[in-house]
């Protein structure tokens, strides 16, 4: 189906999962996996040069600046500028190079802060994203407009997918930049190793979220690359609701932390309910089936090994 597939951001978190999935699905294709060290897409003209050098007929664009809420709050301009620049330049370069299909991902945080769960794709334009990550969220949201505009004017085939709260091996465990699951895993393992009697968690633990294992997200990408030809976005998540309190208790059990979890209710809870509607995903015959505890066990086992080897991002 494709002779040459270019993957940007291939050395990042999701890239580590998606590149092997693409290799398995398209064994005859020449897969070109590029990370930031090979090509800094922030540099003027870099995207055009990359497309000219590699001449792919499909692009899976994963390159992005991403991080947790605290880092987003401190550096909104960096998140906005870098993601907007990388996305618009790479998308346009792929169009100019005659790429047959361009596939990219955006975050569920781009949905409006007041979106009603379960959040369907039709709610994307019903309001502004949560302010703490608005720089990143709005920049990523622009790719939906670009996908629509280039399809209407040029017939350019692009696909935008919206993974939920993704976790798994190769994630970023730096506490300033990490999302909730890698942050909890690291904190609880370090507390376990120190022999701490308790650990403090923020908020009440009542908010609910929807988490999806990275391997499940990666497994859907080849199908979309082969079969989906629309600028209508698709949520890629489990659609399963879990409270932050239950998540914290599950992580503690998986890592073997036997101390007390103390909830600091002076800290904010954030959005109380954020679950993704996966009706459209399931209508395509796809799902993200890995149970949370199984995915956590795989992630914890990887983190412990990578920490021992010194290869984890801390």
Task: Please give the pLDDT value at position 142.
Answer: 97
**What SS3 class is residue 256?**
coil
Name the pairing type of β-strands 58-61 and 4-8.
Answer: parallel
Beta-strand (E) ranges in 86-188? 101-105, 158-163, 165-167
Name the pairing type of β-strands 242-243 and 208-209.
Answer: antiparallel
Task: Please give the pLDDT value at position 101.
Answer: 98
Every domain range in the chain assigned CATH 3.40.50.720: 4-167+210-236
Residue 8 tokens, joined: 């940007």
Catalytic residue among 136, 150, 170, 213: 136
Give the span between the Cα atoms of 213 and 169, in whole angstroms. 9
Every domain range in the chain assigned CATH 3.90.25.10: 180-209+240-273+292-309
**Under CATH, to which class is 180-209+240-273+292-309 assigned?**
alpha beta
Task: Please give the pLDDT value at position 68.
Answer: 74
Q: Is 111 a catalytic residue?
A: no
Which homologous superfamily is 4-167+210-236 in? NAD(P)-binding Rossmann-like Domain (3.40.50.720)
pLDDT along the chain (314 residues), means of 10: 96 96 97 94 96 97 86 91 97 98 95 95 96 93 97 98 96 86 94 95 92 98 98 97 96 96 88 93 98 97 94 83
Cα 294 to Cα 178, 241, 301, distances in angstroms: 20, 16, 11
pTM, entire model:
0.94
């Amino acid at each position: 189906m494709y002779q040459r597939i270019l993957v940007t951001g291939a050395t990042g978190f999701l890239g580590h999962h998606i590149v092997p999935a693409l290799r398995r699905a398209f064994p005859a294709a020449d897969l070109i996996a590029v990370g930031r060290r090979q090509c800094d897409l922030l540099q003027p003209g870099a995207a055009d040069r990359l497309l000219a050098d590699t001449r792919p007929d499909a692009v899976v664009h994963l390159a992005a600046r991403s991080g947790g809420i605290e880092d987003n709050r401190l550096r909104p301009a960096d998140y906005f500028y870098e993601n907007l620049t990388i996305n618009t330049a790479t998308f346009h370069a792929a169009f100019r190079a005659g790429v047959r299909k361009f596939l990219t991902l955006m975050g569920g945080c781009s949905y409006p802060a007041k979106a009603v769960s379960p959040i369907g794709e039709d709610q994307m334009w019903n309001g502004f994203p949560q302010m703490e990550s608005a720089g990143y969220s709005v920049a990523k949201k622009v790719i939906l407009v670009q996908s629509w505009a280039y399809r209407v004017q040029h017939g350019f085939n692009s696909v935008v997918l919206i993974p939920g709260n993704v976790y798994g091996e190769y994630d970023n465990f730096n506490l300033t930049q990490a999302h909730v699951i890698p942050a909890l895993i690291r904190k609880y393992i370090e507390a376990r190793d120190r022999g701490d009697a308790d650990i403090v968690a923020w908020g009440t633990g009542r908010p609910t979220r929807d988490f999806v294992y990275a391997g499940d997200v990666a497994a859907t990408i080849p199908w979309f690359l082969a079969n989906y030809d629309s600028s209508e976005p698709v949520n890629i998540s489990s659609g399963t609701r879990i409270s932050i309190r239950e998540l914290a208790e599950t992580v503690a059990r998986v890592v073997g932390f036997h101390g007390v979890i103390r909830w600091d209710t002076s800290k904010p809870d954030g959005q109380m309910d954020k679950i993704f509607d996966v009706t459209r995903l399931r209508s395509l015959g796809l799902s993200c089936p890995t149970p949370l505890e199984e995915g956590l066990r795989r992630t914890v086992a990887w983190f412990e090994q990578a920490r021992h080897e010194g290869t984890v991002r801390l």
